[in-house]
C-alpha cells in the first residue's frame, strides 16, 4: 500500500470519528413551546455517553420554536436514582448559546453549550435533564438522556 492508501484506510476514518458529533437518543420531557429535532453530543462514541471527569462536552440541541420569545434560559439537572440535582453549566443564557434572539415561532435553532464534568463528580450513571425556558418559563425544549460518569 502506498502512503495515500494508508491515510485513507486508517487515518481518515479516525479523524472523521474524532470530529463527528454523535446523535444521541433522548426522551422528550415536555417541550411545550417547541419541537426537538436532534440532539448531538461531542464526543460521544458509545451510548450512553461516557463523560470523563475533568472534560467538557459539547451539547447541540436542534429544535423548532413554537413560540416568540425575547429570552431563553437553560436549567440542567442530573437525575440520580430519580432525584433531580442541579447540574451547573457556565452560561445559562440560551441567547448566548448559539441562539439568535428574539426567538421566532416556526424557526429552527441550534442551542450549543458545554457540559463540564468536574473531577470531583462520583463515577455513576445518571440521566441528564436539560431544559430551555422561554419568557414565560415554558420549555422550548426539555430533553433527557442517560450518561455515565467515568474517571
Ligand atoms: C448543531 O446541529 C445541527 C443539526 O445537525 C447542525 O446543523 C449544526 O451545524 C450544529 N452546530 C454545531 C455548532 O455543531
Domain CATH number, residue 51: 2.60.40.770
Residue 103 per-residue DSSP state: B
Give the pLDDT of residue 106.
Answer: 98
Q: Is 124 a member of any domain?
A: yes
The Cβ-side half-sphere exposure at 6, using a 13 Å CA radius, reads 3
- Residue 5 DSSP symbol: H
Provide the domain limits for residue 37. 21-150
Domain presence at residue 9: no
When pLDDT is cut at 50, 70 and 90, the band that residue 101 belongs to is very high
Atom number in ligand 1 closest to CA 42: 14
Neighbours of 42 (CB within 10 A): 16
Number of structural domains found in the chain = 1
Judge whether 13 lies within some domain. Answer: no
CB 111 within 8 A of CB 89: no
Q: Is residue 57 part of a domain?
A: yes
The percent of residues in the chain predicted with pLDDT above 90, rounded, is 83
* Virtual torsion, Cα 108, 20, 57, 53, nearest 10 deg: 160
What is the phi/psi pair of residue 18, to 5°? -65, -35
| Cα(82) to centroid(ligand 1), Å | 31
Q: Is residue 15 part of a domain?
A: no
- Tell me: the pLDDT tens digits for 116-142? 999 999 999 999 999 999 999 999 999
Question: From the alpha carbon of 37, which atom of ligand 1 is closest?
Answer: 4
The residue-averaged pLDDT of 48-66 equals 97
d(CA 142, CA 149): 21
Question: Is position 26 within any domain?
Answer: yes
Residue to mutate, 110, 112, 141, 143, ligand 1, most ligand atoms under 8 Å from C-beta: 110
Short-list 39, 43, 38, 51, CA closest to 19: 43
Q: Which residue in 132, 117, 129 sits closest to 62, CA to CA?
A: 132
* Ligand 1 centre distance from Cα of residue 60 (Å): 6
> Does 64 fall in a domain?
yes
Report yes or no on 33 lying in a domain. Answer: yes
Which protein residues are within 6 Å of ligand 1, measured from CB?
Answer: 21, 38, 40, 60, 62, 110, 112
pLDDT at 1 over 90: no
Amino acid at each position: 500500500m502506498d502512503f495515500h492508501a494508508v491515510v485513507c484506510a486508517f487515518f481518515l476514518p479516525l479523524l472523521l470519528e474524532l470530529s463527528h458529533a454523535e446523535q444521541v437518543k433522548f426522551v422528550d420531557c415536555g417541550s411545550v413551546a417547541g419541537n426537538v429535532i436532534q440532539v448531538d453530543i461531542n464526543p460521544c462514541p458509545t451510548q450512553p455517553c461516557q463523560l470523563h471527569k475533568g472534560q467538557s462536552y459539547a451539547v447541540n440541541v436542534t429544535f423548532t420554536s413554537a413560540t416568540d420569545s425575547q429570552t431563553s434560559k437553560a436549567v440542567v439537572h442530573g437525575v440520580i436514582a430519580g432525584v433531580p440535582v442541579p447540574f451547573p453549566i457556565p452560561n445559562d443564557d440560551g441567547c448566548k448559546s448559539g441562539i439568535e434572539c428574539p426567538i421566532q415561532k416556526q424557526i429552527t435553532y441550534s442551542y450549543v453549550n458545554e457540559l463540564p464534568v468536574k473531577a470531583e463528580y462520583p463515577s455513576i450513571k445518571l440521566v441528564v435533564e436539560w431544559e430551555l425556558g422561554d419568557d414565560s418559563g415554558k420549555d422550548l425544549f426539555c430533553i433527557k438522556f442517560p450518561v455515565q460518569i467515568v474517571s
